[in-house]
Structure 1
Amino acid sequence: MKLQTSTARLSLVPTRLQHSAIFRTGGILCAQPSRHSSLSTLLSTKRNHTTSTHVGQKSSWTHPVYTKEQILAVRTAHRKAYTWQDRAALGTVRLLRWGMDFVSGYNSRPANTNTLSKAYVMTEEKWITRFVFLESVAGVPGMVAGMLRHLKSIRRMRRDNGWIETLLEEAYNERMHLLTFLKLAEPGPAMRFMVLGAQWVFFSGFSLAYLISPQICHRFVGYLEEEAVITYSKAIRDLEDGHLPAWEGLQAPEMAIKYWQMPEGQRCMRSLLLYVRADEAKHRDVNHTLGNLDQNTDPNPFAAKVRAQVQSVAGSTGGLRQLEENSRKGT
């Protein structure tokens, strides 16, 4: 019997998740270069990158195009913990956040606080170090969850209801964040060792946890992404307030311009942080939504072929309120 395959019938449709839009801030995307712009080589000299305006070929996993209004509308938000599973996930995230802050010397107080010791002032180099470590950890959950659901689908010989694609895209997106920041600074041996250790511990622990309770793990990632949005929001405020002069005239790396399809006039460092923050807000809402679903039977509302997506939360907190109402109802 002769088998024929038609590649014309096959197509890869990238998952386009609902854009989160829950933080409001004013002003233009790119700050004008100031008298401090000559310091922009502070970090870029560590690893050269091009700022060519030629977009060229897109990423292999095309990123949805954000509008200016969407990335400026993102804001911080928090989902209340209603069940013991929620409290366990939130407590774990807060513990990890405390440990990471202690190791990295991070302080959430404004940079212009007079009582703030110089050791805790967040410089450009400290921010990049924090971003690299954060993204190296954030890239693990999506890959672990996608891998385990992939194996489960094979083992049970059943469809996955569209979850795998979204989870793998999340992992890919977080890795692109990491690779982008690596264009701005080269981590030293100590940092690489920390990332290696954190990845080994987190991969093992998260894999075991996901086998036990995927729902708690998605809630954990939702709370983790809440913290990521807070972190990037503070970095953006520091840049806007003039506390990061080396970034005021620094353009985003070419790979970032390609991946986010950044238009002309929106390719500076502030724009890059806004794009990354929008991604983290999206992951936050997606994982909180997945944490509300039945892990075995419910279809993924964010899958490319499933258009029953959650209501847009652009300019309001309606999305999170709906998640909280669903959680109270046990949905």
Structure 2
Amino acid sequence: MHYSTAAKFMERSAMTQLYRRQAMGLLKRQRFDSVMASSLTYRFASTIAPTAQAAVKPAVAEKAAHLEPTNATNEPAYKAHFTLSRIPTSENGEPIWENPINHAVYDLDKIATMEQTHHPIVKMHERVAYMAVKALRTGFDVISGYRGPGGAMTEKDWLNRCLFLESVAGVPGMVGGMLRHLRSLRLLKRDYGWIHTLLEEAENERMHLLIFMNIKQPGYFFRALVVGAQGVFFNGFFLTYLVSPKTCHRFVGYLEEEAVKTYSCLLQDIEDGHLDAWKEKKAPLIAQTYYKLPEDA
């Protein structure tokens, strides 16, 4: 019995050594084959005629000039990304401004003949949105001392009102676009254009703010008011949009109706001669670029 056990152990050891030798031989043969293949490739390349090598070099150079982005840490891929980007970049560090979201340019004749419109209140969410806008408008008019057209509002009063309104008006589009973006990711569904539309609206309102800031730079107290109003309005609109997006969209619609009334009063004051400085002042460069205005606008 002991003899058979020892024989089995010796037989197993011999088989293990045999397998190891076969594996080492196979590995050496594979390494030898790869070395021979590399050597043959080098010899074959060195025996190509000079004219053939000259013909190959332009193709290689052209391929190197158009490298495909394959690695985030690869320098050519890094350059290719920013070369193909729609947003311009500067290699010397100087800022380049170009709005990636173009604004629709309207015909001046159509703008002059355009009339104010009002969306009729039919459903409950429309009534809620309208009452909310009216309450905010009334409260803001009382706090800011708004006196309407007719010369009672000075240039400083109009600027402060426009700056504050535009700082808040850019919030709804960004909140709606962000939430619809997350909804599209969460439900694994397309959004069919709503995200881009809302983000364009947010960018449009932000550009209004930047245009007014070229006329006046607000002080620290004004900036503190903007921070507080933005925090309250952002969170309130965010929570409301989660519950009823339709109400928020109609809220923005009625809010824009009030904005049309405000800017119509401002234009009336300018045309009536109550704001002579604005009537003769040249439009800022950022406004000329954004609205594609002539240089003498």
Distance 1:60 1:258 in 2: 12
Per-residue CA distance 1:219-271 (angstroms, 9 max, x = gap): 00000000000000000000000011221210111011001111245x2xxxx
Q: TM-score, normalised by structure 2?
A: 0.67
Contact 1:57 1:258 in 2 (8 A): no
Over 6 Å off, 4+ runs: 2-7
Match of 2:276 in 1: 245
Distance 1:181 1:246 in 2: 14
Per-residue CA distance 1:186-232 (angstroms, 9 max, x = gap): 11122111111110000000000000000000000000000000000
One-letter code aligned to 1:76: Q
Match of 1:200 in 2: 231
**Of the two, which has the highest radius of gyration?**
2
Match of 1:307 in 2: none
Distance 2:221 2:255 in 1: 24
Per-residue CA distance 1:46-68 (angstroms, 9 max, x = gap): xxxxxxxxxx9752222122222
1:78 lines up with 2:118 in the alignment: yes
Equivalent positions of 1:153-192 (< 5 A) are 153-192=184-223
Distance 2:249 2:159 in 1: 26
Match of 1:95 in 2: 135
Q: How many residue pairs were aligned? A: 211
Structure 2 residue ranges without an equivalent (≥5): 1-67, 71-76, 87-95
**Distance change (3 Å), C-alpha of 1:202 and 1:57:** closer
Answer with 79-88 or 123-132: which moved more: 79-88
Contact 2:288 2:295 in 1 (8 A): no
Distance 1:255 1:98 in 2: 32
Distance 2:206 2:200 in 1: 10
- Tell me how large the CA RMSD over aligned residues is: 2.3
Distance 1:57 1:151 in 2: 29
Contact 2:211 2:287 in 1 (8 A): yes
By relative contact order (CA 8 Å, sep 6+), the higher-ranking structure is 1
Distance 2:220 2:239 in 1: 29
**Distance change (3 Å), C-alpha of 1:67 and 1:264:** farther
Distance 2:164 2:143 in 1: 11
One-letter code aligned to 1:66: Y
Distance 1:180 1:61 in 2: 16
